[in-house]
Structure 1
């Protein structure tokens, strides 16, 4: 099916659901057809999607408004028979910059794309809700297809994992010499008052010893990073984009909003004492607290015009397997009903992945980085007919296609940033994906 555009909203969606014993998540993901979707987040049900009943694409500065309008027209007129947990949702995201370049590895990723999966599995404890979504079909046809997919899932069994594919070669898109020059130039502009902060990133191209299994890679990430948002976004063909990100951009339930500031990083210690020492050093770091406060302050400002009340929690430490971050939870109550995409548009890019002032920082990023960010560090997530939804910032992420993977990582630069220390932080941030690709032996 060709992607739906704003002026093509006459498509009629039919959706039917049934409850069934939960099949294995990894095997379910492996059994459905592309484009596949995985979404799992703290305090949210895990969702597996396969195929695309509807695809909505848009580009340019109005891409989110176009997506919202097209999706709302479709969902408002849909014939849905199923509980709220199982109803159809749009899953997807968009590029970090307004326009997609089409450069590898993002050849098949437009500026914005969201899909309603044809097959949607929502895991609810020991059970799951299976939903079959189809366009311009009668209810009987959809119910017959639902029964067929359920029968297929009854036979799905978890197979032994093949283990990491192994890394044969690595290629850095940014040399350490070029990195030092870029960081020093950015710091000079910050000290001159042109910028307050900018986030520069790197890409690491990895050749694998054998093709990677995307479902198995996501399963291993889930074991190591159970408290992160795991996601998979796939086009029909080409590279898969996946990750395990600690950074929620925003979630909306009715008028209640959850977000937060995640900025400032250090490593994990080899012992409990060393780990706690590193955490205390991070909490006391003037540079990291300055960087963090810029992010928290900007998020508060971005929410202010939409909110009746904003609540900022205490700053603390968010510990992950390979790094620990400064973290401040931020909640809000909206003044009026708002679609989650309106909040996404207001918040992206946060200073944690872009910089301040935003436009000046984006110019520096475009001029400096020798690779295409594509969907890296951009919002990925879902929304439903009510405009509720959940989005994460796509960091700790990679594209994977056959025996090739491209990993992405970035760091925030402020006036006292040191190029070599920032280089080391980037290498730490590659570890979540790289560790799951490398063999243990």
Structure 2
């Protein structure tokens, strides 16, 4: 399952002066990142890597591998904050049966949190010097697995299935291919995403790059937090139109029901793990540069020593990215989407040696390899869904990564 390039891990974390732009410190080789409002972690190099086997026990296997690795490490951590000491960045595929889930412990991690900054190194090498990011040049787009009309047809099929009572909701995703003149430098995408979408979590793990608005779980000590998003509308042409669209979203029976389903799935997953759990009665409106979402922030306190990966295992997949009920929705996804989502809509984030960490759902993302990128977007399909409107919503979500590629 694993390749430990440095064993045992000899880890040193020291406080450093404010690095200001974390992303600007990244070298060009396989960057790792988790940034929001300029704070977070960036990493590079590999001290250890795990390719997580498929199957229902994959999160347990990942946790056990990390526990063994970190328990055997020699750690000198003068900072002692979440994200200091050894950290693993991870990306898990949406489908447990799909290959591609990975955990990587970088050789170097540079971080900033709550006004403090630190540098973690593993081994003697302090890391590579950053080089200027290279623009990808002209971008050409092509259809992914399905054309737009074909995808609308699949949405219509899903609506008919829902109306029979087979399920309440299913999330259908579509993909788009992009080809650049030159190799796509993930650092270019990260910088654009972090600047334009500071409220989102900008991430890079194993070529999966994006900016997700959806926090699956933040784990600090025994405290946990999750931000549930479901129900979406596009931004308006001006302030008045924007406000009207937001009000319509908030009043929409279809979108409110979709949101209730998503919140209920998170509450059901977290309740057995928590001694206390707070779920607000009403959602908020989260306004992003391209779309508006119904959002509910769930908070709780764990009843035992569960790590963040234990919480991720209990929560994934939520109704926000799968559907309701989960089993029926996953069956419809496999039947109608016709594609492997890879890491899209799967958990992405980081975990430290204390079990703390932050994990999001890999939305608004692309899988980047050389000159090519595969862009993803998904929509929650309900009985009242209109295929043309769902296509428009998916296109609005795809524009996030198109902006990252084009500038």
TM-score by length of 2: 0.92
Is 1:46–2:14 an aligned residue pair? no
Contact between 1:17 and 1:81, CA under 8 Å: does it hold in 2? yes
Larger radius of gyration: 1
User: Separation in 1 of the partners of 2:266 and 2:315?
Assistant: 7
Q: Which runs of 5+ in 2 are unaligned?
A: none
Contact between 1:197 and 1:413, CA under 8 Å: does it hold in 2? yes
- Where does residue 26 of structure 1 map in the other structure? 23
Please point out which of 247, 261, 276 is paired with 2:243.
276
> Could you say what secondary structure the match of 2:27 adopts?
helix
Shift of 1:41: 3.1
Q: How does 1:206-285 map to 2 (within 5 A)?
A: 206-234=178-206, 240-285=207-252
User: Separation in 2 of the partners of 1:400 and 1:430?
Assistant: 15
User: Separation in 1 of the partners of 2:293 and 2:113?
Assistant: 31
Shift of 1:306: 1.4
User: Separation in 2 of the partners of 1:128 and 1:207?
Assistant: 37
Is 1:289–2:289 an aligned residue pair? no
> Could you say what secondary structure the match of 1:344 adopts?
helix
RMSD: 2.3
Q: After alignment, is 204-213 or 386-395 more displaced?
A: 204-213
> Could you say what secondary structure the match of 2:161 adopts?
helix
> Could you say what secondary structure the match of 1:12 adopts?
coil
Shift of 1:268: 0.7
Shift of 1:162: 5.7
1:125–1:61: structure 2 CA closer, same or farther, 3 Å change rule? closer
Contact between 1:173 and 1:205, CA under 8 Å: does it hold in 2? no
- Where does residue 65 of structure 1 map in the other structure? 60
User: Separation in 2 of the partners of 1:286 and 1:20?
Assistant: 51
- Where does residue 15 of structure 1 map in the other structure? 11
Contact between 2:52 and 2:103, CA under 8 Å: does it hold in 1? no
User: Separation in 2 of the partners of 1:408 and 1:274?
Assistant: 27
1:23–1:331: structure 2 CA closer, same or farther, 3 Å change rule? closer
User: Separation in 2 of the partners of 1:380 and 1:165?
Assistant: 28
Shift of 1:205: 0.5
Shift of 1:164: 6.5
1:379–1:269: structure 2 CA closer, same or farther, 3 Å change rule? same
Shift of 1:163: 5.5
1:306–1:20: structure 2 CA closer, same or farther, 3 Å change rule? closer
- Where does residue 87 of structure 1 map in the other structure? 85
- Where does residue 37 of structure 1 map in the other structure? 32
User: Separation in 1 of the partners of 2:114 and 2:170?
Assistant: 42
User: Separation in 1 of the partners of 2:335 and 2:312?
Assistant: 25
Equivalenced residue count is 401
Is 1:168–2:140 an aligned residue pair? yes
User: Separation in 1 of the partners of 2:392 and 2:401?
Assistant: 16
Deviation readout 1:243-264 (Å, 9 max, x if unpaired) = 0000000111111110032000
Deviation readout 1:72-117 (Å, 9 max, x if unpaired) = 122123111122243111111211111225xxxxxxxx2x211110
Contact between 1:164 and 1:436, CA under 8 Å: does it hold in 2? no
> Could you say what secondary structure the match of 1:129 adopts?
strand
Contact between 2:34 and 2:349, CA under 8 Å: does it hold in 1? yes
Shift of 1:231: 0.5
Q: How does 1:38-437 map to 2 (within 5 A)?
A: 38-41=33-36, 45-59=39-53, 60-82=55-77, 83-85=79-81, 86-101=84-99, 110=100, 112-123=101-112, 128-134=117-123, 142=124, 145-146=125-126, 149=127, 159=132, 165-234=137-206, 240-313=207-280, 314-437=282-405
Shift of 1:20: 3.4
